[in-house]
Amino acid sequence: MSITYREVKADILRQITQGELAPGSAMPNEVDLAASYGCARATVNRAMRELADDGIIERRRKAGTRVRQNPIRQVRLNIPIVGQEIAELGASYRYTLVHSQAEPAPDWLRARMALDRDDRVMHLICMHYADGAPYQHEDRWINLGALPEAEDHDFTDTGPNEWLVSTVPFTDAQISFHAVAADTSLAGYLGCAEGDPLFQTERTTWLEGRTITFVQLTYRRGHRVTMQY
Amino acid sequence: MSITYREVKADILRQITQGELAPGSAMPNEVDLAASYGCARATVNRAMRELADDGIIERRRKAGTRVRQNPIRQVRLNIPIVGQEIAELGASYRYTLVHSQAEPAPDWLRARMALDRDDRVMHLICMHYADGAPYQHEDRWINLGALPEAEDHDFTDTGPNEWLVSTVPFTDAQISFHAVAADTSLAGYLGCAEGDPLFQTERTTWLEGRTITFVQLTYRRGHRVTMQY
DNA sequence: TCCCCTGAAAGATATAGACATAAGGTGGAA
DNA sequence: TTCCACCTTATGTCTATATCTTTCAGGGGA
C-alpha cells in the first residue's frame, strides 16, 4: 500500500519536534501536504486531526493549521474500580462492609448532591484491603430517590462501586483529588497516625441530570496516582 | 447532506445507555450498520472508532464489535502552567525566585533522574502567588548535562516552567499525585501549619531518552484538582 | 468611519470502492 | 487427539471526489 496516515503523522511530528516546523508557524494546507506526500487528502486529514486532538497543532477553518505555541499537555487518566486496581498491583483483594444505613440526607450532602429536603440516602462505609493491609476507605452516599433498589441490596459481599457500575453504567461524573489529614476514624481504619496526610478522591455521579451517588475514597498513606504522557 | 457520523455515534450511544444494546452484547458489523443508517461504511466506522476510543465499545478484527461489559472510565487531564492556571481563576499572578544554584546531583536525585555520578544539576526553588497569597511551591532540578543553557539563564523574572516549555517543548513526562505533610520549610513558604496535609505533584520529563528535569509542585492547603467525564 | 454582505479559502465530513490485516474457525495431516 | 495451514470475515485504512461549514477579508453602502 502507499503511505499511511500513521507515517504522515509521525513525519509531521518529527518535523515539529526536530524544529523543522517551529512552534507558532503555519503549516501547508491539506491539499498541498497530500500532494507532497503523494497520498489522498483524507490521509493527511486524519493525521492532522489526530495531531490536533493530541494538542500538538491547532486547526481553524479558513485560517489554516499552525503548530501550537505551547503544546497542550494532557494525560488520560483511567478511573479504576478499586478491586481491579489492587488486582493489577498483583495483590489479593479483600472487601469489608463497615456500616450501612438508610437515613435522611444531612445538610452538607443535600447541597453537594442537589437533593430535596426530604430525600433519603443510603450511607455506606467500606474498607478495601490489599494483601490484608488497608488500602482504601470508602465513604459513600447513594441517592435513594434515584436508586431505591440500593436500600434493599446487600452490600456485604461486593462493594457498592461494583454494584453501581453494573446497575447504572454510563453515568456522568465529576472527580476531584486533594489531600486531607487523617481524623481519628480514618486513622483507625487505614492504620496510620491521626493527622497523617492522605490522598483523597471525591466523586459525584449523575445520570440524566439526577445525582446518583457521592463518594469519598481515602487511600492508605503514601498512595500515588501516576500517569504518563 | 445525509446522516453524519456524529448522529450515528449519538444514536448508538443512546441505544447503549437506554439499554437497547446490553453491555457485553455484540453489535452488527459495519456493513450492516451502514445499510441500516443509509450511509457509507466510513461514516459508521468513524462513529464506532470514536466510541471505542471513549472506552464505550470494544472492537476486534474478525471478532466484531461489542458493548464493553464495564465501560472504561477515563478523563482527560490538562497539565497547566501555573501562571495560566492562576490567570484562569481570575486571580493576579506573581512569581518569585527563592533559590538558584548549580550543584552536583544528590544521590536520591541521581536515582530518580537516571544521572551519572558526576552530573551536575540546576536546583531552583520558586514560589507562585495568586492575588498575593501563596499558591504553589516549586522545587525543581534541571539536568545540566542535557540542558547546559539552564546554568546561565536568569530565572528571576519568569519561572523555569515557562522557560522549559519554550526551550524544550514536546517532551515525554511521568506525573504523579500524592499527599505530603508540610515540613517546616513548606509551611513557611505556603503559610500553613507544619504537618498540614498538602497536595503535591511530581513530574519527571524526558527528551529522547535523556532526563531533562524533575520537579515537585506543592500546592497551598486545600488545593483540588477537578475533572469531569 | 462603521457595518453588513459576499466571495473565497481551508478544514470537516460524506461516499463508493478497493485492498490490507488480524484473527476466529475448520479441515486435514501427524 | 493435537496442531498447523488456510479460508473467511470484520475491522482498518487509502483513494478520489464532492459537498458543507466556518470564517477571514474585501468591497460597497449608509
CB contact, 8 Å: B61 with chain A?
Answer: no
Mean pLDDT of all residues in B17-40: 93
- The pLDDT score that the predictor gives to residue B1 is 57
CB B167 within 8 A of CB A19: no
Mean pLDDT of all residues in B91-102: 96
Q: Buried b / exposed e across A176-205, counting CB within 10 Å, b at 16+?
A: ebbbbbbeeebbebbebeeebbbbbbbbbb
Q: Which of A177, A56, A112, A89 minimizes the C-alpha distance to B77?
A: A177
The DSSP result for B143-178, as a single string, is: ETTT-THHHHS--SSS-HHHHHHHHS-S-EEEEEEE
* Residue B137 confidence (pLDDT) above 60: yes
Mean pLDDT of all residues in B24-30: 93
CB contact, 8 Å: B22 with chain A?
Answer: no
Interchain pair A177, B74: CB under 8 A: no
The answer to whether the Cα torsion of B90, B96, B102, B107 is positive or negative is negative
Mean pLDDT of all residues in B56-72: 92
Cell numbers linked to A208: 440524566
A6 touches strand D (CB under 7 A): yes
Interface of A with B in 187-216 (CB under 8 A): 195-200
Quick one: which H or E segment has residue A111?
helix A107-113
- The pLDDT score that the predictor gives to residue A82 is 95
pLDDT grade, residue B229 (50/70/90)? confident
pLDDT digits (tens, 9 = 90+) for B32-53: 999 999 999 999 999 999 999 9
In this structure, the strands spanning B74-78 and B93-104 are unpaired
- Report chain B's mean pLDDT, rounded to a whole number: 94
CB A150 within 8 A of CB A168: no
Could you say which of B174, B199, B229 has the minimum Cβ distance to residue A177? B199
- The pLDDT score that the predictor gives to residue A190 is 97
Cell numbers linked to A98: 463497615
CB B70 within 8 A of CB A81: yes
Cell numbers linked to A83: 478491586
* Helical segments of chain B, H only: 5-17, 30-37, 41-53, 82-88, 107-113, 149-152, 160-167, 184-190
- The pLDDT score that the predictor gives to residue A166 is 87
Cell numbers linked to A73: 499537555
Cell numbers linked to A63: 485560517
pLDDT digits (tens, 9 = 90+) for B180-207: 999 999 999 999 999 999 999 999 999 9
- The pLDDT score that the predictor gives to residue A164 is 95
- The pLDDT score that the predictor gives to residue A83 is 94
Q: What is the mean pLDDT of each run of 10 residues along chain A (229 residues)?
A: 89 92 92 94 95 94 92 92 94 96 94 90 97 97 95 95 91 96 97 97 94 97 94
Q: Which amino acid is at B117?
A: R
Residue with cell 539563564: B153
Which DSSP symbol is given to B107? H
- What is the rounded distance in angstroms from the CA atom of residue B18 to the CA atom of residue A185? 40
Cell numbers linked to A163: 454494584
